[in-house]
Amino acid sequence: MPTSTGVPKPRSHSQYNRYAQCGEAYKLERVEKRPSDPAGWFVQGTAVHSGVEAYERSGRTISRAATIGHYHQAWERELAAGLAVQRDITQWMTGGFKTGTKDLSDRRELGEHQVLDYIDYAEQSGESIWVTPDGKQAIELEFTIRLGKVPVRGVIDQVVQTPYGLTVRDIKTGTKKQPSALQLALYRRAIWDLYRVDITWGDFFTCARKGRSPKNGGPTEPYDLTRISQDWLENQYAAMDAAERNGVYLANPGDHCGTCGVRRHCKAKGN
């Protein structure tokens, strides 16, 4: 078990994941507070989540037009937030050869398609959103728990009743395949700590794709979350917390630099 002086800081999966991926990026973003370049995928992701949330919170009763209205409201709000950081859209990250304007236009259309495709899936799947023992719909479910001595907080996209059992689910709007189920294992722990309900399964809902390789949205194969040790997970967060509080930030240049919002501040990239 790592040792360090001081009180553990509140952590989250996004902190843990960013720190493990690249300590230098973590430091630039979260310690030095360097401004992060905006990107269309951030706008798209938040807007899609907003549309899906509105649809599910209505008990799947609102119209498609109303659901898309929620999507567009969130899009405009997130777009304005990005423009407040960088007014010049040509400077936005695109992850490819598109201009910022073209990327935003394509992503707005794709995000709308992903929301409508999600509705199609929900209507046909036979799945339903779980209702917690205290009567909450398990949508965008906030939690604060402790992993050992480390406080950890987060938001669970969904907990769903599926044919194979109660399942924690995270919605992904991008194409990147998730390398592990650690995020879902954390959510399993949160449900146990909050409600004493032990969930075995987790999955990622991969939203629809368009273009040359169109694909309908749907969940990945379920992960058996009991295979990830909770003691090991506690040690991982303890190690991350101890190292970060001791100022350990190791640069890790790689493919992820292409989508890093603080790369123009990074000394490992020669900036």
Single out the residue of 17, 9, 248, 31 nearest to residue 150, CA to CA: 9
What are the extents of the domains in the chain? Answer: 33-126+258-269, 128-243
Residue ranges of alpha helices (H) inside the chain are 13-21, 23-26, 40-57, 64-85, 100-125, 182-195, 230-245
pLDDT over threshold 60, residue 5: no
Give mean pLDDT, residues 92-105: 90
Whole-model pTM: value is 0.93
Give mean pLDDT, residues 93-122: 94
Give mean pLDDT, residues 109-131: 97
- Give 145-188 pLDDT, tens digit per residue: 999 999 999 999 999 999 999 999 999 999 888 889 999 999 99
- 22 contacts 164 by C-beta, under 8 angstroms: no
Burial class (CB in 10 A: 0-12, 13-18, 19+), 70: buried
- Give 66-90 pLDDT, tens digit per residue: 999 999 999 999 999 999 999 999 9
